[in-house]
């Protein structure tokens, strides 16, 4: 049966080729709304693709959502696929999505670490990092959430290439990170940035590398509360929220610390289900409920961004 | 393809900072091949760690000898991986 947007199985995990094919299907389904953009190439040469949802305008303010920066957290890429379908279906039908897309572009990067993701399907399901070769070490890969130029190298990441939180030889050493950095800088008008991980049911905002409070901490905290209330209203899933360093631990070189320091006020990280039954080995049966509840929180953040221009 | 037969994921509950440090000491022993899914940070937060079969006995003895509470979060990791693969392949039909 030819694959189509309607026959695609959203309640199952997919490999890299299937996700990239899905992105092409989506762009073909509604080219007036959706386009696929390649923003770079991974260390092993795979295209780094994002979806752009736009109803017109030039350099409109934009919202960025990414999933799968830690490749083994499969429920995040699977949720990204569901978000893409909701944006496609929602425009013109869902008042909130329509209003957001009438004012903002939305960029969605479903597979933010394609080399690592391909490796989880082919060789090692537990792989988390990139697949770059570390000179002088037999250990491979850098933690792409420790490689950003925000507190890079301070406590909260490792200098050991064999560690799962290895920061890399320098900030932005990973092409997967550099591609986003370059895109964000060249676009220059991104107003919200959400990076999605799993697991442990948390909604986090800057900072992670320092105990210094973010200038907008009060607003970010209030918005996080509103978002997690919306999330738990669907299935009762309980989330905690707060700054990275006060809620979990010191983590340096992190994505949203960098985006916040670029001036993107609404910078958030999600840690999706669960709290400790399956960890990131979440059964496929939980993909849809996880994505649905997360979508409610994402809409709260996107609506707030729409209603609070800065 | 790496297989995880006999690997277990333990959920460790450190009672205090000293016990967190004891678990951190484990983290330094690279030949144990431990994979921390949730890192040892402070007592309020659970620690989740994947332990290969070869290291399992040693790690459990170490935890018990330091009175560090733990439970088995995932009994047989390979079973979950197999289920996932089966579900994905079934999707094709």
| Least Cα separation, residue B84 to chain A (angstroms) | 7
Compute, in degrees rounded to 10, the torsion defined by CA atoms A258, A261, A264, A270. Answer: 40
pLDDT for res A59 = 86
* Residue B91 pLDDT > 90: no
Residue of A nearest to B79 (CA): A281
Q: Closest by alpha carbon to B69, among B28, B38, B23?
A: B23
Query: What digits encode the pLDDT tens for the residues B5-40?
Result: 999 999 999 999 999 999 999 988 989 999 999 999
Report the percent of chain B where pLDDT is more than 90.
Answer: 87
Collapsing DSSP to helix, strand or coil, A44 comes out as coil
Return the H-helix or E-strand segment holding A291. helix A287-307
**With a CB-CB cutoff of 8 Å, which residues 4-63 of chain B face chain A?**
4, 9, 11, 30, 35-39, 41-42, 45-46, 48, 50
β-partners of residue A133 are A140
Separation of alpha carbons A278 and B66, rounded Å:
26
In Å, what is the CA distance from A146 to each residue of A97, A287, B46, B89?
32, 27, 22, 34
Q: Closest by alpha carbon to A134, among A155, A154, A152, A160?
A: A160
* Residue B93 pLDDT > 60: no
pLDDT for res B30 = 87
pLDDT for res A1 = 55
Looking at per-residue pLDDT, the higher value among B64 and B92 belongs to: B64
**With a CB-CB cutoff of 8 Å, which residues 58-77 of chain B face chain A?**
73-74, 77
Residue of B nearest to A271 (CA): B38
Q: In sequence order, which residues have a C-beta less than 8 Å from that of residue A197 and are 6 or more positions away?
A: A69, A70, A73, A76, A145, A269, A270, A271, A272
pLDDT for res A10 = 96
Averaged pLDDT, B35-56: 95
Separation of alpha carbons A112 and A223, rounded Å:
25
Interface test with A, best of B87, B89, B90, B93 (most A CBs within 10 A): B87
Contact A164 B36 (CB under 8 A): yes
- Angle of CA points B26, A242, A159, to nearest 5°: 35
Q: Closest by alpha carbon to A299, among A201, A228, A248?
A: A228
Active-site annotation holds for A271? yes
Query: What digits encode the pLDDT tens for the residues A252-271?
Result: 999 999 999 999 999 999 99
Beta carbons of A120 and A15 less than 8 angstroms apart: no
Separation of alpha carbons A201 and A273, rounded Å:
5
Separation of alpha carbons A27 and A174, rounded Å:
28
Collapsing DSSP to helix, strand or coil, A236 comes out as coil
Collapsing DSSP to helix, strand or coil, A64 comes out as strand
Which residues of chain A fall short of a pLDDT of 70?
A: 1-2
- Sheet with A240-243, edge to edge strand ranges: A34-41, A47-53, A105-109, A62-67, A190-198, A266-272, A202-205, A240-243
Comparing CB atoms, the residue among B1, B38, B50 nearest residue A123 is: B1
pLDDT for res A158 = 96
């Amino acid at each position: 049966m030819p694959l189509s947007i309607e026959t695609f199985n959203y309640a199952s995990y997919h490999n890299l080729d299937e996700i990239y094919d899905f992105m092409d299907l989506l762009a073909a389904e509604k080219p007036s709304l959706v386009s696929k953009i390649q923003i770079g190439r991974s260390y092993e040469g795979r295209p780094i693709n994002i979806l752009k949802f736009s109803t017109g305008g030039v350099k409109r303010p934009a919202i960025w959502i990414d999933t799968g920066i830690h490749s083994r957290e499969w429920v995040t890429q699977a949720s990204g696929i569901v978000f893409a379908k909701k944006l496609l279906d929602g425009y013109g039908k869902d008042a909130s999505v329509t209003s957001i897309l009438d004012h903002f572009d939305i960029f969605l990067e479903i597979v933010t670490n394609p080399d690592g993701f391909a490796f989880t399907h082919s060789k090692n399901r537990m792989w988390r990092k990139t697949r770059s070769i570390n000179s002088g070490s037999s250990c491979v890969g850098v933690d792409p959430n420790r490689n950003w130029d925000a507190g890079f190298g301070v406590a909260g990441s490792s200098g050991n290439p064999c560690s799962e939180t290895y920061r890399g030889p320098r900030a932005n050493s990973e092409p997967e990170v550099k591609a986003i950095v370059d895109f964000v800088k060249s676009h220059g008008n991104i107003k919200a940035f959400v990076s999605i991980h799993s697991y442990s049911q948390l909604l986090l905002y800057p900072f992670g590398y320092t105990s210094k409070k973010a200038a907008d901490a009060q607003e970010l905290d209030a918005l996080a509360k509103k978002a997690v209330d919306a999330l738990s209203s669907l299935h009762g899933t309980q989330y905690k929220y707060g700054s990275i360093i006060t809620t979990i631990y010191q983590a340096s070189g992190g994505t949203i610390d960098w985006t916040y320091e670029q001036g993107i006020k609404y910078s958030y990280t999600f840690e999706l289900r669960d709290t400790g039954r399956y960890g990131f080995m979440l059964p496929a049966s939980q993909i849809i409920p996880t994505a649905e509840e997360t979508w409610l929180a994402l809409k709260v953040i996107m609506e707030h961004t729409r209603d609070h221009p800065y | 393809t790496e297989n995880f037969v006999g690997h277990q994921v333990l959920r460790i509950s450190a009672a205090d900072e000293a016990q967190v440090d004891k678990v951190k000491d484990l983290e330094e022993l690279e030949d144990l091949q431990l994979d921390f899914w949730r890192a040892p940070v402070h007592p309020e937060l659970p620690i989740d760690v994947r332990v290969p079969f070869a290291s399992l006995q040693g790690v459990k003895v170490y935890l018990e000898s330091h009175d560090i509470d733990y439970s088995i979060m995932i009994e047989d990791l390979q079973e979950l991986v197999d289920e996932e693969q089966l579900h994905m392949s079934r999707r094709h039909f």
